[in-house]
């Protein structure tokens, strides 16, 4: 499989893991019905894996690791890992404000049918930052680099939960803080969402191999982290 368009992180006979860039849809679905651009699934199939199917989803604006089954008939076997809590996903996010060292967010999230479902996210704060950004009413701003571990897998769960505790993810257009988003986009020139699927860990259901993968965050993060 060529890596010219899609960065391949892992591949075996049954599956592959790629690094999805920000602002690329995983596949065309009901939720992306108004987006006519090429999807990540399209690109992978164009590069030779003709039956590749995503096992889980990432929001269009979220970057990072995503698992594909090489054939549709194998998708269910990999999805059982998620259903049984046998796959570990960790994300990095830049949040507004200073968070405590660690904690959990246990708050229901509404699904596409309008029904609330239990949702749980654990977090660990990795680093605090202060920046001399003038965003009224303050002349200095606080941010936290946070590792997020979703225990459940609801749509927009991490973004909703971050907002729920009043520490929204930077550049989240739906659940974020518009004043901080505006500053990052118009002053710093950073338009991407600061949410990155950094790590995947699972036992391959067909081979029994333990697969543990990590992917560094995209370059645009350094424009904040290294001012």
Pick the catalytic residue from 59, 106, 118, 219: 59
Q: What whole-number distance in Å separates Cα of residue 87 and Cα of residue 119? A: 16
* Helical spans, DSSP H, in the chain: 40-46, 75-83, 157-164, 178-182, 222-225
Residue 120's DSSP bridge partners are 106
Q: Which residues contact 91 (CB under 8 A, 6 or more apart)?
A: 62, 64, 147, 148, 149, 150, 158, 195, 196, 197, 198
| pLDDT digit string, tens, across residues 34-93 | 556 889 999 999 988 899 999 999 999 999 999 999 999 999 999 999 999 999 999 999
| pLDDT digit string, tens, across residues 161-204 | 999 999 999 999 999 999 999 999 999 999 999 999 999 999 99
For residue 24, give the 3-state DSSP assignment: coil
Query: Using an 8 Å Cβ cutoff, are 212 and 190 in contact?
Result: no
Q: How confident is the model at residue 114 (pLDDT cuts 50, 70, 90)?
A: confident
For residue 35, the model assigns a pLDDT of 59
In the CATH scheme, what is the homologous superfamily, with its name and number, of domain 7-225?
Pseudouridine synthase (3.30.2350.10)
- The mean pLDDT of 29-38, rounded to a whole number, is 61
Q: How confident is the model at residue 209 (pLDDT cuts 50, 70, 90)?
A: very high
Let me know if 59 is a catalytic residue: yes
For residue 38, the model assigns a pLDDT of 86
Answer left, alpha or beta for residue 85, where phi above 0 means left and psi between -120 and 50 means alpha: left
CA nearest to 158, candidates 99, 111, 93 = 93
Residues 32-68: b if buried by 16+ CB within 10 A, e if exposed: eeeeeeebbbbbbeebebeebbbbbebbbbbbbbbbb
């Amino acid at each position: 499989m060529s890596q010219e368009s899609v960065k391949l992180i892992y591949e075996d006979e049954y599956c592959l893991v790629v690094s999805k860039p920000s602002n690329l849809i995983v596949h065309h679905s009901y939720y992306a019905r108004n987006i006519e651009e090429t999807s990540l699934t399209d690109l992978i199939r164009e590069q030779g894996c003709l039956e590749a199917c995503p096992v889980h989803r990432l929001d269009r604006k979220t970057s990072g690791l995503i698992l594909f089954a090489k054939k549709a008939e194998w998708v269910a076997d990999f999805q059982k890992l998620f259903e049984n809590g046998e796959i570990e996903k960790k994300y990095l996010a830049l949040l507004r404000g200073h968070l405590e060292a660690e904690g959990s967010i246990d708050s229901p999230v509404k699904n596409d049918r309008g029904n609330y479902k239990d949702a749980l996210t654990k977090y660990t704060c990795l680093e605090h930052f202060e920046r001399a950004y003038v965003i009224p009413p303050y002349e200095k701003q606080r941010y936290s680099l946070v590792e997020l571990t979703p225990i459940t897998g609801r749509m927009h769960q991490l973004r909703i939960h971050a907002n729920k505790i009043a520490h929204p993810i930077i550049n989240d257009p739906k659940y974020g803080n518009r004043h901080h988003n505006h500053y990052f986009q118009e002053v710093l020139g950073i338009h991407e969402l600061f949410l990155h699927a950094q790590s995947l860990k699972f036992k391959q259901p067909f081979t029994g191999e333990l697969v543990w993968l990590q992917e560094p965050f995209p370059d645009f993060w350094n424009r904040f982290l290294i001012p």
